[in-house]
Structure formats: structure tokens, C-alpha cells
Amino acid sequence: MAFGRLERTQGAQPMSDINVTPLVDVMLVLVVILIITAPLLASSIRLDLPHADGTQPGEAPRFVTVTLDKIGRAFLNDKPVTAAELAEQLAAVARQNRDTEIQLRADRGVPYGRVVEVMGAAHAAGLSRIGFVAEPAKK
């Protein structure tokens, strides 16, 4: 009596390769989170301040942006203004808070005299904190 072989179909073989796509996705998300949060963590100083009666929470530093385009037109917080309107609005800002900073963004082609005029309007309004905004040099 001869016994015949019964053929069996082979089941699914175990996968020997690692699917790295989900791993790469998770790592990219973690890198983006790290890039965003690292500057915030590096510049913050954690303090445990004492409590005192009569203190009030401080107001966050305020600033207004004055922009001068190539032809010398002035913009206050991205809204076009004339020289008279600029002086008027800067005086209103100074009445609210004299410590308000002006962030001056001037195009490279603007004559220096026009920049000095804007600085003079700010000084006449009573604002003395002026920051000049520039882009980092290209290497």
C-alpha cells in the first residue's frame, strides 16, 4: 500500500522587511516640533517669583511698525499714511504709552533724509525707542 503525499498550500510567510514609512513620518513630526519649540525653551528663564500685595501684572511691551517703501511712502502698521497723519497717529500712540517701540523698516533705496524725517516725527511725538529692522546678511 502506497501512501500518497498530500500537498499543502503554504500559508503567508512572515515578512522579513521592516516598513519604515510610519517610522519616518513620526520622526519628521518630532523634528518639526523640536524645531518650533527649541528657540522658545532656550530663551525662557524659569523663575519662582515672590508674591506681594499691591502688584499688578505688567503690560506686554508694545510696538508699532513704520515702513518706508522704495519711493519713500510711509506705512503705519501696513496702512498707508501721509507725513501729517503719521505724526498725528504717533502722538496718539505716545499718549497711550510712552514706552512704545517703533520698529522702522526702510527699503535699501530710501534716502537717508526720509528716514531721519520719520525719526524726527517719532521724537516730536514723544517716542524715543526706535528699532531698525534688517534681514540677516546672505552668506
Q: 57-111: per-residue pLDDT in tens? A: 555 458 888 888 888 888 888 888 998 999 999 999 888 888 888 888 888 788 8
Q: What is the pLDDT of residue 25?
A: 93
d(CA 106, CA 74) in angstroms, rounded, equals 9
Output the domain CATH number for residue 82. Answer: 3.30.420.270
Q: What is the pLDDT of residue 32?
A: 92
Q: Which residues pair with 81 in a beta bridge?
A: 74
**Cβ–Cβ < 8 Å for 50, 87:** no
**45 three-state secondary structure:** coil
Q: Which residue has the higher pLDDT, 44 or 24?
A: 24
d(CA 1, CA 6) in angstroms, rounded, equals 15
**Cβ–Cβ < 8 Å for 64, 91:** no
Domain total for the chain? 1
Q: Mean pLDDT throughout 17-35?
A: 90
Q: What is the pLDDT of residue 48?
A: 45
The residue with cell 510712552 is 98
- Whether residue 1 is contained in a domain is answered as no
Question: What is the pLDDT confidence band of residue 120, given thresholds at 50, 70 and 90?
Answer: very high
